[in-house]
Amino acid sequence: MAAPMLLSSEDVLRVNGSRRFAAAMAAASPFASLADALLAARRIWLNEVDVNGWLEAFAAHPAIGTTSPSVSKWSKEEQSAALSTATDSTAQELAEWNARYREKFGFVFMICASGRTAPEVLAELKRRYTNRPIVELEAAAQEELKITELRLAKLFSSEPTVPSTTTEGPATQSDKAAAWITLLSHQLNFQKDRIRIIGAHLGALPQSCANKAPEITGSSNRSRPPITTHVLDTARGSPASGIEVHLEMWKDSSAPPSFSNKDFSGWATLGYSVTNNDGRSGQLMDIVDNIAPGFYRISFNTRKYSPAGFFPYVSIIFEIKENQTAEHFHVPLLHSPFSFTTYRGS
């Protein structure tokens, strides 16, 4: 059995450029196995690192196709397939699209490039360029997590561990294989159960800001409720804090809500909260594996946040169908004094 791995912040910064992530991983070490480190990395990246930490991590990466001597050994290895398959015209087009992307989103195009050719990377860059900024932030964070997982595996395979008080032999090939199988398993699970970052990317919710309805508990394999939200102030370009949020479900089985049936008495409150400094609400309903199908309404008290605005409140009604009960529904509000929009996120 291998001795536990003790990581310093400097070790982790080789893996992920976020200082907050590095400090939290170092504090959580030593790790008995790669699997333990991967679990901790995912938890910290999604729940403890805020947008500023994400952007700091993105900034530590060179643009895809960069051949500067300052590029790290790991970055060169990760981009080797793309660099080796890039023609002069592809490299030029990639540089142009990298610049367009940075101009639109404000950060470098993030992609786990290991094993991907230049045409594949370019096609993905063009596809994601059409995303809304907040959707692209989710995609970039997903890619950063993949890179972090791969680099942690490299770190575990190359770095010495904490000296053990017992005599241990060198790691066997089966030990190394098991570590890589664990990593691949995590990556497959990552793809099957997308990390729903749009709701989580603005940081973990402080308890003092929760202000949520009582008796909301629940028990399931999910890490968060099936319905989540956050609010962005698009006029200021920042999260909107202090907005009261209510979540309700339609309970009148005799008739569904519709354009011609606006009877408010059919709605029953599931929970309420107030958005924190990162624009994220607290828990609005039980954490359950399968949400009840039906109609839901999420309402935002925008009058208090924007007294001179056009909308005293905003209500969004949506339907969850029977074949969607295991899915996650992130319903954000992008608000300004005279307009708002929403979308169904993951």
Residues with Cβ within 8 Å of residue 258, at least 6 apart in sequence: none
Which of helix, strand or coil describes residue 191? helix
Q: Which one is catalytic: 61, 201, 246, 328?
A: 61
Predicted TM-score (pTM) of this structure:
0.49
* pLDDT for res 256: 83
Query: What is the mean pLDDT of the segment spanning 283-302?
Result: 91
Asked whether 317 and 295 are in contact (CB, 8 A), the reply is yes
pLDDT given for residue 159 in this prediction: 52
Quickly state the pLDDT bin for 195 (edges 50, 70, 90): very low
Average pLDDT of the chain is: 79
> What's the pLDDT band for 217 if we cut at 50, 70, 90?
very low
pLDDT of res. 235: 86
**Which of the four pLDDT bands, split at 50, 70 and 90, describes residue 2?**
low
Distance CA 54, CA 190 (A): 18
- Could you tell me which residue, 199 or 117, shows the higher pLDDT? 117
Q: Which is more confident, 88 or 160?
A: 88
What pLDDT sits at residue 67?
Answer: 62
Token pair listed for 279? 């624009």
Lowest mean pLDDT among 98-102, 167-171, 305-309: 167-171
* 43 labeled part of a ligand binding site: no
Is the per-residue pLDDT at 97 higher than 90? yes
Higher pLDDT: 31 or 78? It is: 31
Helix (H) or strand (E) holding 269: strand 267-274
Residue 189's pLDDT is: 46
Q: What are phi and psi of 209, to 5 degrees?
A: -100, 0
Query: Is 186 within any annotated ligand binding site?
Result: no
Q: What pLDDT score does 212 carry?
A: 37
- Taken in order of first residue, the domains within the chain and their CATH numbers are 9-157 (1.10.3330.10), 225-255+264-342 (2.60.40.180)
According to the annotation, is 343 in a ligand binding site? yes
- Calpha distance 308→279 (Å, rounded): 20
Q: Which of 125-129, 135-139, 216-220, 341-345 has the lowest mean pLDDT?
A: 216-220
Helix (H) or strand (E) holding 79: none
Q: Are 272 and 216 in contact (CB under 8 A)?
A: no
> Does 322 score more than 80 pLDDT?
yes
Q: What is the pLDDT of residue 87?
A: 86
Whether the per-residue pLDDT at 108 is higher than 50: the answer is yes
61 catalytically annotated: yes
Mean pLDDT to the nearest integer, 111-127: 88
DSSP string, 270-326: EEEEE--TTSB----S---SSPPPEEEEEEE-HHHH-TTSS-S-EEEEEEE-GGGTT
- Does 219 have pLDDT greater than 70? no
Mean pLDDT of 98-115: 90
Q: 324 near 256, Cβ under 8 Å?
A: no
Average pLDDT over residues 218-237: 80
| Confidence label for 314 from pLDDT (cuts 50, 70 and 90) | very high
Q: What pLDDT does 153 receive?
A: 86
Q: Could you read off the pLDDT of 161-175 as tens digits, one per residue?
A: 444 333 334 444 444
CA of 10: how far to CAs of 40, 172, 191, in Å? Answer: 17, 27, 29
**Tens-digit pLDDT profile for residues 182-194:** 445 544 444 443 3
Taking residues 318-323, report their average pLDDT: 94
- What is the average per-residue pLDDT within 229-236? 89
What is the number of helices (H) and of strands (E) in the chain?
Answer: 12, 10
pLDDT digits (tens, 9 = 90+) for 38-88: 999 999 998 889 889 999 999 998 887 766 565 677 777 777 777 777 788
pLDDT exceeds cutoff 90 at 311: yes
